[in-house]
Structure formats: C-alpha cells, structure tokens
Amino acid sequence: MVAKKALYPHPKNPVILASGIMGTTGASLTRMAYNGAGAVITKSIGPVPKKGHPNPTMIELENGFLNAMGLPNPSYTEFVQEIENAKNNTSVPIIASVFAGDKEGFVKVAEELSSANPDGFELNVSCPHAEGYGATIGCDSCLVEEITASVCDIIDVPVWVKLTPNVTNIVDIGKAAERGGADAVVAINTVKGMSIDINTGYPILGNRYGGLSGRAIRPIAVKCVYDLYASLDIPVVGVGGVSCWQDAVEMVMAGASAVQVGSAVSQSLDVFKSISSGIEDYLYTNGYSTIDEIVGFSHKMG
C-alpha cells in the first residue's frame, strides 16, 4: 500500500459535508459543522452570479435523488463574506469549491476566495448539467491538468480535484489532476440521469436531465475510488451514496482517506455524528487504532 499524505492539516474526523448540500451560506456550513461534520465544503462558487436552472431542480426517486440545480451561486464577490462567517464560527476546516468555464476563471475565483482564508480548495470539474462548466472540462485530461496546475501555482493550501464518473476511464482524469499537482482527488460527482413524467411526457427536471446521487450510485462510487486508489499516489476522497457508517467503511476499504456525505443529509442532520461514531466503534472493535490502517484494505484481499 502507498502511504498517502494528509488531506489537510490536523484531520480529526473523516466525515465531510459534500459540496452543494447546505453549503450556500456561512451559517448553513457552520450548522453542519456543529452537527458533526469533520470538514465542510461550500457550494461551488463561480466567476459571475448564477440563478441556476428553473425548478424542479431536485426530486427524490426510489433509491436516490436527481438534481439539476445549475450551479446557482452569488459569485465570489458575495461569497467571501460567507466563508469568513463560517471561519469565525467554527474550527473545522472550510473547503471552498470552485467552478469556472476556463483556466483563467478558476484562477480568478480561487484567488479572490483566498482572501477569506479557506483551509483548502476543491475544483469542481465534474458538474454534469451546467453547459460549458464542470464535466465539460472534467472529461478532458489536458484541461484538467492545466487548470489544476494553474490553481496549485497560486494557492498555498491543499487543492483537491473533484471527478466526474461520466467518463470512459476516470483514472486517466485522476492522473491528469495528480500531474497538475492536486493534493487529492474526490470521487464522484453525480451520475448523469433523467426522469420523465409519464402522465404528461415532460422531463421532470427544469433542465430536462441532471445528476443522480444517493444510495443508487454507491457501487459506482466504490468502483471509481477503488480504481483511483490503485493507480494514484495522492489520497482519494470517497463520495456517492454514503448514508451510514457501514457505507463509509466500505468506501475507506476501497481506498478513500475520507468520505463526503451529501444526499443523506435529507434523512437527518445527525448523519455526520452517527457515521463518525460508527467508524470509531468499528475501528475499536476490530483492533485498529486509526482509519489509515484500513484505507485501501480491500486491495490486499485479492
């Protein structure tokens, strides 16, 4: 097994709030920290204000959620104060998620948000339903490497790159991020999906299609994390369908150094506490002293 470096200084609790969930304001991020998140990631912030797609923007399906929010955000000019607010009110790491249409945009947003001193950055090159942003970039390994390198150049806190599963080979993109200097990769963003109202024929989401999250995508995420762990030297953060400590342990055994939780927040805001205490009990019961001992464990097991 390869020793992976720490995700951010002083990691304590490996259960992190995923981007786009309760991350629109400093107050909502702080609330998630009080509810037991070990770190919190902001909503993805871009270079100009965006209202997002028309509603319906999110619906619950049998086994998960379909969303096409359309990256609504007030842009960095307004969001700096939200990060400052969160920094003033909680001590858990605050990670700023950034998106843009090109390298210059990513650099500009990251540079401007730096003034609020976030503890790290996550580059969203993976949103499946915002034309010209996100996954349009995240499918192109040259662009991912270039963008990662330009941001890493000007930022002195850890930079993570969040990957889309909607590609032929996620490892190629992960490697590009690693070459660009990423401190970790995060997998996965939502899986492209669509749902149609058979009474009227209308696609349900305002954007017609969107991204699937929640339970249904967990096996997809586990496979992506497993493959990335096997090929990369930098740490992998696992996200996708984690809703209880068993899911989190599975993700860690696949190779995740930490997990993010998004959709499961809909069950209860206490989900962070219950997952992190479940992981601790699991480690204790099985005679491990830290989570690092089981990161990528399943790779040794044939």
Partner 1 sequence: MYPLNTRLINIVQESPSTRTFFFDRYFDANAGQFLMVWVHGVDEIPMTLSYNSGITVQKVGDATSRLFKMEKGDTIGLRGPFGNGFTLPKKSDKILLVAGGLGAAPLAPLAEYSFKNGVDVTTILGARSSTELIFGKRFSSAGDLYITTDDGTSGTCGFVTDILTNLNLSDYDRIYTCGPEVMLGCIFNMLQDEKYVLEKTEFNLHRYFKCGIGVCGACCIDPKGLRVCKDGPVFKGTELIDSEFGEYKRDASGKKVNI
Ligand X SMILES: Cc1cc2nc3c(=O)[nH]c(=O)nc-3n(C[C@H](O)[C@H](O)[C@H](O)COP(=O)(O)O)c2cc1C
- Of 161-169, 223-231, 234-242, 257-265, which segment contacts partner 1 by CB under 8 A? 257-265
- Of 75-83, 236-244, 249-257, 281-289, which segment contacts partner 1 by CB under 8 A? 75-83
Q: Which does 164 bind (CB under 5 to 8 A by kind): ligand X, partner 1, none?
A: none
Report d(CA 196, CA 176) in Å as an integer.
Answer: 36
From the list 234, 278, 215, the residue with the least C-alpha distance to 15 is 278
Contacts with ligand X, 21-60, as mask; x by CB under 6 A: x---------------------xx-------------x--
Do residues 121 and 157 lie in contact, with contact meaning Cβ atoms separated by under 8 Å?
Answer: yes
Q: Which does 29 bind (CB under 5 to 8 A by kind): partner 1, ligand X, none?
A: partner 1
To the query of whether residue 152 is one of the catalytic residues in this protein, the response is no
Structure tokens at 23: 């991350």
Q: Which does 115 bind (CB under 5 to 8 A by kind): partner 1, ligand X, none?
A: none
Do residues 184 and 7 lie in contact, with contact meaning Cβ atoms separated by under 8 Å?
Answer: yes
Q: Does 270 bind partner 1 (CB under 8 A)?
A: no
Tell me how crowded residue 201 is: count the other CB atoms within 10 A of its CB: 7
Q: Does 5 bind partner 1 (CB under 8 A)?
A: no
Report d(CA 188, CA 34) in Å as an integer.
Answer: 25
| β-pair partners for 237 | 186, 258
Contacts with partner 1, 176-215, as mask; x by CB under 8 A: -------------------x-x-xx-x-x-x---------
Do residues 103 and 97 lie in contact, with contact meaning Cβ atoms separated by under 8 Å?
Answer: no
Catalytic (active-site) positions: 127
